[in-house]
């Protein structure tokens, strides 16, 4: 934005920020509406908007000229120019990487994915993340340095400085200062958060939890995780460990026992983990196998038994089933809802995430957008 000297410069920037915030939160606004909302005169609003137009932050909404002639020239209307900046959202999983590049309106411009073995050395994993960001940015016609912010979601306990305090999934990840490592590799601001907290953030922003303030998000895949939205805010916990359920003896999640037993009984020569067994049983259930349907049902009830210990004291409006196994749909939701109805004083509604495997990357985009807004709307010292 253009600079003016002295105290007038600060006031001008404050007013510019106010008008830009208003446009950021509205689809369209006239100069009169902007002046009233920002508490400035119409000429002041007009001058600020002209500067914002020149600097590329705002664009004028062009109406159909024929319609204009029929009803007379309407007031000029303006909107925030979402393409004035871009962010990236990154999901670092145990076996995959995903990068999503979006404009400041949250519209997706490019997506890149890459499989990566769980035993990949830490330096190689970090280099792969940086390279995938570069490729995704290039797909969107950008250099990495042009990104306003990069949001990163990772498994593990993540503190406020972007350090992975503890991870039971990725070898070598415990103690890694992920923010510092990626900042050294990327010419763009980086912000890091736990993946489960980003998943529930995504649901609140673009998913099933829009309009809800108290939500439990259950992540069901190779591991079980949980995200909590309490009073409209994502819960971090006293040690920033909210979302990390921890390990189980011998890596055996008891909830998977029913589908693993079924899988072994049907194909004893095939060794499948919990997620693979659940996906196998779901596929067979959809094909009409009654024993498979019962195994999936018991799997759902076992998940619900664990959920009850959280749902009853927190009293959420909604329980969202996310992760790879959300593809089970009603086969999983129905037994979970039955258990909640049976054991909860005020049963929440159980739903399947519509964001699927995109959820954490979408949450990372939201994290990056929030950081970008702090950069955009903070006065320089």
Are 305 and 343 a contacting pair, CB within 8 Å?
Answer: no
Residues 6+ apart with CB under 8 A from 144: 133, 134, 137, 186, 187, 188
Q: What is the DSSP letter of 74?
A: P
Q: Give dist(CA 217, CA 204) in Å, integer.
A: 10
User: How confident is the model at residue 253, as a pLDDT?
Assistant: 58
Query: Which of 84, 144, 93, 26 has its CA nearest to residue 364?
Result: 93
Asked if the domains at 6-80 and 210-354 fall in one CATH topology, the answer is no
- Which pLDDT score is estimated for 65? 47
- Which tokens belong to 329? 């749909």
Q: What is the pLDDT of residue 150?
A: 98
- Least confidently predicted of 71-75, 131-135, 231-235: 71-75
Is the confidence at residue 243, as pLDDT, over 80?
A: no
Q: What is 85-199+360-376's CATH superfamily?
A: ATPase, nucleotide binding domain (3.30.420.40)
In this predicted structure, what is the pLDDT of residue 249?
A: 40
CB atoms within 10 A of CB 189: 18
Task: Kindly report which listed range (111-120, 148-157, 196-205, 320-329) carries the lowest average pLDDT score.
Answer: 320-329
pLDDT tens per residue across span 104-128: 999 999 999 999 999 999 999 999 9
pLDDT at 250: 39
Q: Would you state the pLDDT for residue 340?
A: 97
pLDDT reading at 66 higher than 50: no
In the chain, domain spans: 6-80, 85-199+360-376, 210-354
CB 64 within 8 A of CB 78: no
Q: May I ask the CATH class of domain 6-80?
A: mainly alpha
Q: What share of the chain has pLDDT > 90, as a percent?
A: 67
How confident is residue 292, by pLDDT bands cut at 50, 70 and 90?
Answer: very high
C-alpha 154/C-alpha 90 separation (Å) is 8
pLDDT digits 0-9 by tens, 244-262: 765 444 344 578 899 999 9
Q: What is the pLDDT of residue 378?
A: 65
C-alpha distances in Å from residue 354, one per residue of 25, 167, 199, 322: 25, 27, 12, 8
Per-residue confidence at 265, pLDDT binned at 50, 70, 90? very high
pTM: 0.86
Helix residue spans in 104-145 (DSSP H): 122-139
The band of 97, judged by pLDDT with boundaries at 50, 70 and 90, is very high
Orientation of helix 122-139 relative to helix 178-185, angle to 10°: 50
Please say if the pLDDT value at position 67 is more than 60.
Answer: no
Tell me, what's the pLDDT at 72?
57
Helix (H, G, I), strand (E, B) or coil at 226: strand
Mean pLDDT of 201-230: 93
Tens of pLDDT, residue by residue over 342-365, are 999 999 999 999 998 899 999 999
CATH architecture entry for 210-354: 2-Layer Sandwich (3.30)
- Indicate whether 168 pLDDT > 90: no
Separation CA 49–CA 251 (nearest Å): 58
Q: Does the pLDDT value for residue 18 go beyond 60?
A: yes
**Average of per-residue pLDDT values in the chain:** 89
Q: By CB neighbour count within 10 A (0-12 exposed, 13-18 middle, 19+ buried), where does 211 fall?
A: exposed
Whether the predicted pLDDT of 78 surpasses 80: yes
Place 154 in a pLDDT band, splitting at 50, 70 and 90.
Answer: very high
Closest C-alpha among 329, 374, 371 to residue 90: 371
302 with 255: CB under 8 angstroms? yes
In 3-state terms, what secondary structure has residue 114? strand
Confidence check: pLDDT of 2 > 50: no
Q: Quote the CA–CA distance of 85 and 103 in Å, as a whole number.
A: 6
Mean pLDDT score, 169-186 = 96
pLDDT above 50 for 368: yes
Write phi, then psi, for 343 (nearest 5 degrees). -115, -5
Query: Range with the lowest mean pLDDT among 17-26, 56-65, 88-97, 108-117?
Result: 56-65
pLDDT at 1 over 70: no
The share of the chain scoring above pLDDT 70, in percent, equals: 92
Answer yes or no: is pLDDT of 68 > 60: no
User: What residues contact 98, with CB distance under 8 A and at least 6 apart?
Assistant: 90, 91, 111, 112, 113, 114, 357, 358, 360, 361
């Amino acid at each position: 934005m253009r600079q003016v000297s002295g105290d007038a410069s600060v006031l001008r920037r404050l007013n510019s920020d106010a008008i830009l915030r208003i446009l950021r939160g509205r689809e369209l606004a006239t100069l009169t509406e902007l002046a009233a909302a920002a508490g400035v005169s119409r000429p002041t609003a007009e001058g600020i908007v002209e500067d914002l137009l020149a600097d590329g932050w705002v664009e004028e909404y062009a109406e159909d000229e024929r319609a204009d002639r029929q009803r007379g020239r309407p007031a000029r209307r303006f909107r925030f120019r979402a393409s004035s900046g871009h962010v990236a959202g990154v999901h670092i999983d145990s076996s995959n990487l995903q990068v999503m590049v979006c404009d400041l309106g949250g519209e997706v411009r490019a997506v890149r994915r890459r499989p990566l073995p769980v035993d990949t050395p830490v330096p190689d994993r970090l280099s792969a993340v940086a390279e995938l960001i570069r490729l995704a940015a290039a797909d969107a016609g950008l250099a990495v340095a042009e990104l306003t912010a990069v949001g990163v979601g990772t498994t593990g306990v993540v503190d406020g400085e972007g350090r992975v305090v503890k991870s039971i999934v990725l070898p070598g990840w415990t103690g890694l200062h992920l923010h510092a490592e990626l900042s050294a590799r990327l010419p763009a601001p980086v912000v890091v958060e736990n993946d489960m907290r980003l998943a529930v953030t995504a649901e609140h922003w673009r998913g099933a939890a829009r309009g809800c303030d108290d939500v439990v998000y259950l992540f069901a895949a190779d591991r079980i995780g949980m995200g909590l939205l309490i009073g409209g805010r994502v819960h971090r916990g006293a040690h920033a460990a909210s979302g990390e359920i921890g390990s189980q003896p011998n890596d055996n999640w008891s909830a998977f026992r029913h589908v693993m037993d079924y899988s072994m009984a049907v194909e004893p020569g095939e060794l499948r983990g919990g997620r693979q067994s659940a996906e196998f049983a779901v596929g067979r259930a959809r094909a009409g196998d009654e024993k498979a349907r019962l195994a999936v049902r018991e799997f759902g009830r076992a998940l619900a038994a664990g959920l009850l210990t959280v749902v009853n004291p927190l009293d959420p409006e909604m329980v969202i089933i996310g992760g790879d196994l959300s593809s089970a749909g009603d086969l999983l939701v129905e037994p979970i809802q039955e258990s909640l109805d049976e054991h909860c004083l005020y049963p929440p509604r159980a739903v399947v995430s519509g964001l699927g495997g995109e959820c954490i990357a979408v949450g990372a985009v939201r994290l990056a957008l929030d950081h970008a807004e702090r950069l955009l709307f903070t006065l320089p010292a």
